[in-house]
Structure 1
């Protein structure tokens, strides 16, 4: 896991790439390297050493001929199998997955992508053809941002690296959609003008100042190729096999691996599988709690841990910590992020870093592939879990000219099933992309790699392809998954409903954090974004919130979050 950066084009200053790398030094504190093809390209890399800890595996990595140069962020989990397949056709000098990726590209070209099981964003410079090839993994676990203006192509793992050398303003239409509809942008957009992201499952080719972007992973096509004549027993058996193999692949590391756990069925399954695979050594577990009985999952976690004996690091997060952590997280995210549960989650990585743990696993991805969210069982098009019929947004606080920029997103519907189309939206456009962005920035802010075994593409494709009634049966979500995991976890866990909230955000904002909210709103009124809002209306909504039922706090968090991002922008301009 690392940070990548580079500039392709005329008039490149190596110092600019050095500055880009310094801005994302947290992503890779173990080594830093730069490759320069004078007058054409500069590639940079910050390394977090996970596989092959020797300096021979530092990047940018060059092949034996000196033609190809790779800057890579992520992990290729099946690198050992690929290396055996490549055999003597390439002369390996390291035992790293990085060199296997480079060799795969040299031998197979862009078709190498379909052979990779992993999370990745990488760039390869061909110094002979003067051509850049870059790609992102199927679901976009690892980030790839770029800017292509004035015959100069910049790319990086984080927006701030590009902003460090290029001044950009806000993408107002994306912001307006965020306030009106809760959208975090399309897979190719960011909240900044002139900075885009490469969508998951796509690759870039850049040559002679010409940029082309193509899709290499067609999910709908893959689903169409899966036979639909499997029996329930066969599906269960195949899914179990893939679960076990996915865990095995993600334990490949030359450093210690730990994991995050909550009280839900996903992370409880992860706990069981981790211990099944790593039975000779109890893997360290991390969880957060707030001390609020209504929200905490700690009793569920402790119930599981008592049976397994894993060392458990219980990380308490309190209301008084919110302002400090919110500011830190905002600096790292640079775009809107989830509320106080996301902030509390970040403290886990701080503790893991202090414990010198470089790799954690978590249970992200099950809800999207198995239809776990409550709104999948309804006819409305909500993308916010657990809000019921309450309004998540307050567009009435926006100035009309700004609000008019908002346009509700329309998503592709490549399947005949309404449920599958909702899942597809969440996998590639809404829920998963934003969760992966939150998680990447949080983990890498503390120089920690986050692995998500349930996002193995083989698992996602199989679960997605099964009939709707195997995912939702009556009011039971993740129906067949619950049946599959009964052999791994107790019934009281496998049958537990999904709990949407893990912190008392609603109560804290209206009581413990009133001073923080007031300060945020005051800052917003004098910020670079102040002209977007009717600030008197914000105060009116705030008073109603404090004196009302507090059924939904999402819009309160939106305004706080925007204030924090505005402060960060003002610091860096």
Structure 2
């Protein structure tokens, strides 16, 4: 896992690239490299060594002719199979997936993307054609940001681009965030002139011309998949795909660990991980807060008692929230999810301190198996577990600012309304924001996060199944629970989906009350204070302290904004 950066243009300063790489030093401190095609482009790389940790595999990585130069963030899990497939077409000098990626590009061109199973964001500079090719994985696990004003600038994090060019807030995106909870469409960020390459797309830049194309067409892939299966066939096929996905994601030359919650997803994953890696029990990590209403330790301890894995319990206390919120806000560059994200960040900090460079988790299962509560009602909610309480408070916004908001309109390419909700969450709402939060907090602590459930073969298979295989008799993730029941204790297999794992609602109205008030005061003094009607904000805050705390999302939105704009 790494950080990539570069500038394409006629007047390039190496000092600018150095600033970009330094701003992302946390993404990889094992090596730093630069390739400079003077007068045309400069590309850089911060390396976190995972596969072939020798310096022979450092980047930017060049082909034997010296024409092509690769800067790559991610992992190609099936690199061994691809290396064998390429065979005599390329002579390898390392055992890295980096070299396999470049070799696949040389042999197959952009069609190499279809062959990759993994998470990736990479760019290749052709110093003969003076052209740049860049691509992002199917679900956007790894990021690629760029700015195309004057020079073409790209990086793994927004802060690297901001370091060498001015940034202007994308005010409409902020309005959408406060009104609808939107974190932007696949190409958008919270900054006007900084964009992201959408998941499953590639770009080509040459002679000041930018072209972006989709290479992964998910609806088309689903249209070719068979939909008539027996329950036994479904379980057998899905289990086969999942075991293969786990096997591929165990390829590393450094220690691995595992993030576990008390739910169905990670419990199944841990069981299968142990089956595959039976010679040595990998270390499991989980967070808790000491509040039995939210902590999943009882389920986790029951699961661990069955598997025998060593367990590292990482506690987040309310008094730690202010410090961690400031740290993670700086890491994220944009708004993030709330106190659960802070608790999750502590896991990566502990893993790093324990000498573990790679963690696996269960991200992606709810989107493919319809695990969220609103899938049952098939409404338009994008926030899980807020009950009947409104997630957003647009009436506290200034009239002119609120008028900028445009309610996002998402594609509906499927006949099934359930599949359309799943598709929205996979490519536009739930998964993109979770992947963004997770990439930035894992890399903040120089740790790689791998997600076996996001293998595209798994996602496509589950997504294409009939609705009744996902929700049956009111039970979410029906078929997955049937499968899980064969491997894990009954109580865990039947456990309902829980939206929150921290007492955020109670803390904000209790132990963190003074912190909330301080954050609201800072927001009122910030340069964006004219976005808000603070009389209405303080009325909502007063009502929150007195009333039913079903939902604290809007409070976190205001806190998050105050963190971002405190010193800007």
TM-score after normalising by structure 1 = 0.98
Q: CA deviation at 1:567?
A: 2.3
- Say whether the 8 Å CA contact 2:294–2:503 is kept in structure 1: yes
The more displaced of 547-556 and 98-107 is 547-556
| Partner residue in 1 for 2:233 | 234
Post-superposition CA distance 1:395-417 (Å, at most 9, x none) = 11100000000010110010000
- Say whether the 8 Å CA contact 2:385–2:500 is kept in structure 1: yes
**Separation in 2 of the partners of 1:360 and 1:30?**
18
Post-superposition CA distance 1:415-445 (Å, at most 9, x none) = 0000000000000000000000000000000
| Partner residue in 1 for 2:115 | 115
* 1:91 lines up with 2:67 in the alignment: no
1:65-80 equivalent positions in 2, closer than 5 A: 65-80=65-80
**Separation in 2 of the partners of 1:391 and 1:228?**
37
Q: CA deviation at 1:330?
A: 0.1
**Separation in 1 of the partners of 2:168 and 2:527?**
10
1:275-354 equivalent positions in 2, closer than 5 A: 275-354=274-353
| Partner residue in 2 for 1:140 | 140
Post-superposition CA distance 1:262-314 (Å, at most 9, x none) = 00001101110110100010000000000001110011101111111111000
1:421-500 equivalent positions in 2, closer than 5 A: 421-500=420-499
Q: CA deviation at 1:382?
A: 0.4
| Partner residue in 2 for 1:46 | 46
* 1:399 lines up with 2:398 in the alignment: yes
Where 1:149 maps in the other structure, the secondary structure is: coil
**Separation in 1 of the partners of 2:398 and 2:153?**
34
Q: CA deviation at 1:230?
A: 2.9
**Separation in 2 of the partners of 1:39 and 1:231?**
61
Post-superposition CA distance 1:48-104 (Å, at most 9, x none) = 000000001000000001000000000000000000001111111110000000000
**Separation in 2 of the partners of 1:500 and 1:405?**
30
| Partner residue in 2 for 1:512 | 511
**Separation in 1 of the partners of 2:487 and 2:549?**
38
**Separation in 2 of the partners of 1:183 and 1:70?**
33
**Separation in 2 of the partners of 1:334 and 1:563?**
13
Where 2:164 maps in the other structure, the secondary structure is: coil
**Separation in 2 of the partners of 1:42 and 1:167?**
20
Post-superposition CA distance 1:210-233 (Å, at most 9, x none) = 000000000000000112233322
- Say whether the 8 Å CA contact 2:178–2:394 is kept in structure 1: yes
| Partner residue in 1 for 2:529 | 530
**Separation in 1 of the partners of 2:412 and 2:548?**
37
Q: CA deviation at 1:249?
A: 0.3
Where 1:498 maps in the other structure, the secondary structure is: coil
Where 1:422 maps in the other structure, the secondary structure is: helix
Where 2:286 maps in the other structure, the secondary structure is: strand
| Partner residue in 2 for 1:155 | 154
- Say whether the 8 Å CA contact 2:378–2:417 is kept in structure 1: no
**Separation in 2 of the partners of 1:382 and 1:263?**
24
Where 1:384 maps in the other structure, the secondary structure is: coil
Post-superposition CA distance 1:139-195 (Å, at most 9, x none) = 000000000012x11000000000000111110010000000111100000001100
**Separation in 2 of the partners of 1:9 and 1:237?**
53
| Partner residue in 2 for 1:359 | 358
Post-superposition CA distance 1:30-55 (Å, at most 9, x none) = 00000000000000000000000000
| Partner residue in 2 for 1:246 | 245
**Separation in 2 of the partners of 1:180 and 1:245?**
42
Where 1:517 maps in the other structure, the secondary structure is: helix
**Separation in 2 of the partners of 1:217 and 1:484?**
29
* 1:58 lines up with 2:22 in the alignment: no
| Partner residue in 1 for 2:27 | 27
Where 1:164 maps in the other structure, the secondary structure is: helix
1:239-278 equivalent positions in 2, closer than 5 A: 239-278=238-277
Post-superposition CA distance 1:430-469 (Å, at most 9, x none) = 0000000000000000000000000000000000000000
Where 2:287 maps in the other structure, the secondary structure is: strand
Post-superposition CA distance 1:294-338 (Å, at most 9, x none) = 110011101111111111000011000000000000000011110
| Partner residue in 2 for 1:208 | 207
Q: CA deviation at 1:492?
A: 1.1
| Partner residue in 2 for 1:383 | 382
Where 2:566 maps in the other structure, the secondary structure is: helix
Where 1:285 maps in the other structure, the secondary structure is: strand
**Separation in 2 of the partners of 1:364 and 1:566?**
30
Size of the aligned set, in residue pairs, is: 568
